[in-house]
Structure 1
Amino acid sequence: MANLFQSVRGFNDVLPADAAAWQQLQRVAAEVFASYGYGEIRLPLLEHTGLFKRSIGEVTDIVEKEMFTFEDREGDSLTLRPEGTASCVRAGLEHGLLHNQQQRLWYAGPMFRHERPQAGRYRQFHQLGLECYGIATADADLEAIAVSARLLRELGLSGLTLELNSLGSAEVRARYRAALIEFLQRHEDGLDADSQRRLHSNPLRVLDSKSPQTQEILRGAPAIVDCFDDAARAHFDAVQQGLADLGIACTVNSRLVRGLDYYTSTVFEWTTTQLGAQGTVLAGGRYDGLVEQLGGTPTPAVGWACGVERLLLLQKALGVPTASGDAHVYFCWLGEAAQRAARRLAEQLRDALPGLRLVLHAGGGKLAAQLKRADRSGAALALILGESEVEAQTVQVKSLRAGDAPAAPEFVAWPELASRLAGLLKQSEPR
């Protein structure tokens, strides 16, 4: 019989075989964030549409083409969040977290954009994000990048390139915008259609064009560094010097602008050549004007976000070992007395060995059938309890994987079972 329903295009299920790698990634991320003093904030999926129009920019691709927006029963326009920064600022203002304070926050969860689905880019995707408020100096930029570098390293990801640029202050950006428009107008006929459309509304995004012809024209475009004032130059120099002090290599990319209107000063991306067109793995920068733009007092801010699906794809491409959700132990039993004893022993083992993944067989059946289920569970060891074992108060321990000890079945007394299992499972861990 055919399935009546399938998932919506671009909205994917994460099955149990893959979920363990997701859990491991978020566990590593939470530990890295905590090691720098960042606290988790949990944000709603739905926000008022105006929040994103005002923060991201009405002429960005996200707002123009990609948001999932609808009217609710009260006639309010609501949007499934396409990114986390605007929601984080809204929450900070609503709950009084930002005024004259320093805040270090991180978040995780699904985001939504109506894009063409492809590997590493989905309509429901998941992000990890970090935001730091209240620090105007390059210290915050450096810390944000250092956290990102440590996270990528802890996830086993190597061979990435850190690309760095600065958009200067709002005044610098305004001067550069005027110079760039003047240049692009002289070459308007040669630009691709998207770039012609953006020329006046969002000219910095032209620098990000994928058109080879437009990129050839841009070779002669003015560089934003030519519009820097002393403060912008000093801040960018301090970021570069700080990265050198930390041993974090970077490449200055004067065409790096990011796709959201709220960025000012430092912008950066970690990129890879392992994922084809989806080369950006983690990206962010400074957005000193956004808090004021959304109704707060002027507050310096810097942050970044990364796509969980893309990190997992990169781990796979690089052959990084990830967590498995397989059972450690499968507990077989034969007979009613053995079933009752196995149930008690299983609970005792879970108490004694936190983190133990133990499956207690259910449904009866012959031992051979139970052992087949044990093998399919991925468990390293099977425990077997029959009438004779109950009488002797022992459990038979059987290896299910080649190379795992013990080579032959071993009988272990009930009081010693937890310590024996701990030792055997340690031996079976991949090296």
Structure 2
Amino acid sequence: MAITDGARRRAAPSSLAFIALMVLVGLNLRPALSSLAPLLPRIEADSGLPVLAIGALTTLPVLCLGLFAPLAPWLSGRLGPERTLSLALLILAVGLALRGLAAPAWLFGGTLLVGAAIGVAGTLLPGLVKRELPDSADLMTGVYTMALCLGGALGAGLSIPLAETLGGWAPALTSWAALAAISLIAWQTLMPASPPPRRQASARGDTGALLRQPLAWQVTLYMGCQSSLAYIVFGWLPTLLVERGYDDAEAGWMTGASVMLQLGAALSAPWLARLGRDQRPALMLVLSLIAGGFWVLLQGPIEWRWAGVALLGFGQGGGFSLALSLIVLRTADARLAGKLSGMVQGVGYALASLGPLGIGVMLELDLGLPGITLALTAVTAAAMVFALLAGRDRRLASDETGHLVVR
């Protein structure tokens, strides 16, 4: 018996319910990363891990974001995006719980699972936003990015208090599994799963064709450069500020404040980008703020430090929000947005993992803050080059024959 369109139709949640779920899921995708950095001295002291292993612990989740993000479109095509996101939240909760077992093997294994889960979940959400809220996908991406930034700020700010309250760094890391479990229950309850999509007759507009499109690479490389800077902040900014001469407590407050300031910029940057069809002015503004923030914090006068915190926070919040907005602005439909998201976040995060690793190596070689500042400026300059190309008013779309074209 034929299945009617009504029987196939997914019972979609209301727009408000979807936005609430999007925010709740987004809150989970940064604490697993940002909660680690403030606890690294305690982990190093308790576990006896060498400095290079501690550096690898900060690099591993970012590398996993890149390695596992391309799996998201493949899993989504077989399970459906809703079930795939549920699976990612389950793996995230398990990975966070394993990190709390404290032994180095479990710490690294749990961190690997955490990175894999975040890579898949973060790749799926832009496509889901494009599908559920097509007329305001770029603005809603700003709301989602704000949730990411809030999660990152909570992870950085609550790590030490949680460790003091719960009796150690291991239960502090594990505690974030509760948020993942709550999000999984809410997602399963309020987001009915659609049937896995049928295979497209033509795959010429998909991943292979994306890899041959310069526009896709321009968005990807911009994402890689700006994400590299973001994960350097998550992993090493407190250490760099201590090198500058601040004490541990003030370095922590400055990092937390910078991450918290990302919230407003993450929400407002897509509105700024909407002032014109070309996003290059907005991209140049936020990248200039990032460059200025790093210079003030690492080389500028000490009395300007809170201005540097503000510049860096506003710049990074806007830079990441615009990177995700470009995924939906540069694609014509939700399917292509999902494919581009897999490429952008897969390749982009793999490249981004080199940033924290590189800073760790520079610190190990004692190259000094002037050399590190120069390296950060060079990465920002590269981001500007790719932003000038990716910010142009162009869009990837499938033509009548199924070929991927730029319009």
Please give the TM-score of this superposition, normalised by the length of structure 2: 0.22
Which structure carries more helix by proportion? 2
Question: In proportion to residue count, which structure has more strand?
Answer: 1
Structure 1 or 2, whichever has the larger Rg, is: 1
**Which protein has greater RCO, CA pairs closer than 8 Å, 6+ apart?**
2
TM-score scaled to structure 1, two decimals?
0.21
